[in-house]
Structure 1
Amino acid sequence: MGGNFKMLAKTFYGFEPMLAKELRNLGAGNVKEGVRNVTFEGDTGFMYKANLSLRTALKIYKPIASFKVFNEKQLYQNVYRLDWPSFFHHEKTFAIDTTMSSDVFKNSMFVSQRVKDALVDKFRAVEHKRPSVNTQDPNVRINVHLYKNLCTVSLDSSGSSLHQRGYRIATNIAPINEVLAAGLLLASGWDGQTDFLDPMCGSGTFLIEAGMIACKIPPNINRKAYSFMHWKDYNAELHNKIVDASLNKTREFHHKIIGYDKAPSAVRKSQENVENANLDEYVTIERKDFFRTEKPVDSKLHMVFNPPYGERLQIDVEDFYGKIGDTFKKHYPGTDAWLITSNLDALKHVGLRPSRKIKTYNGKLESRLVKYEIYEGSKKTKNNP
């Protein structure tokens, strides 16, 4: 496969199968699941497409070297051997990100410093000029991964994390990560074939990600910058063709996406974000208290939401989750309701038996994505008409 090379996509715990499926659907070769990552093969155009189109990826790395190191000198020498001026121009800024689990080195900042020294020295030797470090907003990001004695050096093609889609300008308290939201929606089986509701929509992330899945819009279509744009081999014409081809695969959506929040500020912020994502044609947001609502449509409803856990937003957990269950039972027949929470005790107060529980993480909080199937009438009635 001419022009193909190995890449690695980072993701959240538990999202590896979804990311692998996304990659295969996009056309990646040799897809293999790891822990919080998936490796695959493709060419430069596919790397552009992966950054644009993958919903559950946080980063796309292009490994450029792998070697064993047993001391600081070997680390420096191996990094120095790489032809750094062939990758990017000395006028670009750069940063080194190091992740490690090694007996040889104890300090990731020290490793980053030595890699930086080797890179800069190579530029000086070849071009008599050196690029500058910018840890806040670099043009080029380089990832160093040390596991025991094996060191892998990669170019970070994404730059800032791919959860930074470019549509969310206004945020609410405790907003959910965009990649996490997309993964939870896919895990819930959301495919855009029914109506959708987020009854506690906050800054609108679930609504926007649900809209992009429903319309098959690339998740990073609103994003303006990637690190690969600063590489010497960047092909702007090819990149533009891939963006245009991806947009040609979008589809119409013939159902409703609805968001509620009782806070006026949240409604306003989510409306701004939906507008920024160019999805206001499909998404409606209203100021409503979920506990005082009824199902807004007669047909099947798909619900996904992120209620307060009692961590950053203080609530009476027993009362709050009890009201969630009561609202489901009384006012939301014919609904598949999914919620994520890190407060596992809170689920006991919902008063309904979940039909599915999926382990995941929201940041560092171990959480569960839980499904409640709310039937038209009782379950017994449904099974025995």
Structure 2
Amino acid sequence: MSDLLEPGRHRAVGLGDDGLWRAMLEVERAWLAALVAQGKATDLHLRTLTAAIATDLPRPAPETIENAGSPVVELVRILRSAVDEGTAQHVHRGLTSQDVLDTALMLLAKDALGRADTYLTLTAASLAELARTHRETVMAGRTLTQYAVPVTFGLKAAQWLVGVLDARDAIRGAQLPVQVGGAAGTRSLLGELTGSPDAVIESFATELGLLPALPWQTRRTPITRVADVLAEACAAAGVIASNVLFLGRPEIGEVREGRSAGKGTSSTMPQKANPVLSVLVRSAALQVPPLVGHLHTCSALATDERPDGAWHAEWPSFTRVLTLTVTALSQTADLLGGLEIDAAAMTARAQQAAPELLAERGGGGEPADYLGSATSFVDQVLARWDRG
């Protein structure tokens, strides 16, 4: 990932390598806490590990991660070397590297979904206000790039709002399970450690704010379903951005991104104010679906009891979906919060294009007389928003 080539990536801080490292450390701490809860380790062991994690532990060198094939092997070595021998015997006991990394990815997903929910709610509030304000603002409807029949900008905003609310509902319904399967998905060592493995899993999940679950080392739906709901959110944002880009063209001029000092400047044309937020959101909406498709391909190739490469291929795509979507939704909230609407331009264009917009009715009358159920649809969507 590149700060130079991914403008706005700072909005997703904490979802990259630093966040993953902290998440893996938290998984190891929570696992030991679960063992303590079942009497298989002591409070002193947990306090010792927690204190070690709170220090500035060294990060593994890239070549050592390559040698191990994942970052978890080095993580465990670093943790065990940072505590006494008695505590070290309990660190990672009963887990395998996939358990730690998959559960850490669910923690990152939890963070990303929470932020996505917040940004979608901010966007929805702005869209609801636009829908109310422009409930009867007539504009030219367009289908297949050509004039169709009259619509209202309130209806357009309401349709965007439905997409955002649907995406938020999907995000709120996402299931985030812990992964604990052990070496081959049987939890064999955990069964030897305790007579109540399920109780350990329950405690572990509660400690992390995730859900207990059967092992999913080769059943990758927890990954693909998170990616799917984020793709839906990114698509909802992409629809908004694409419309703003079209309606904001100088020859149309019906909407415009809010202007601020330094935003949208050109390196050669000082008069320009580029719609940078819309451009970046649309860019993310174009990038996320192929990444999600890649994750489904990896899921289909998850063979044996632990995959040989398909699992590894998920990591960059999954974290990329998280960062792209959080960044885009944050940008969308800012875009809608400052969007400028030129209602007069909308009305004037509808009047000018009346012969084409009213062609199905014989070309007579005013555009405002032919809106069908547009205002009723707006009211239905606003009622949904008002219900929360």
Q: Normalized against structure 1, the TM-score is what? A: 0.30
Specify which structure has the bigger relative contact order, considering alpha-carbon pairs within 8 angstroms and separated by 6 or more residues.
Answer: 2
Q: Which has the higher strand share?
A: 1
Give the greater-gyration-radius structure (CA).
2
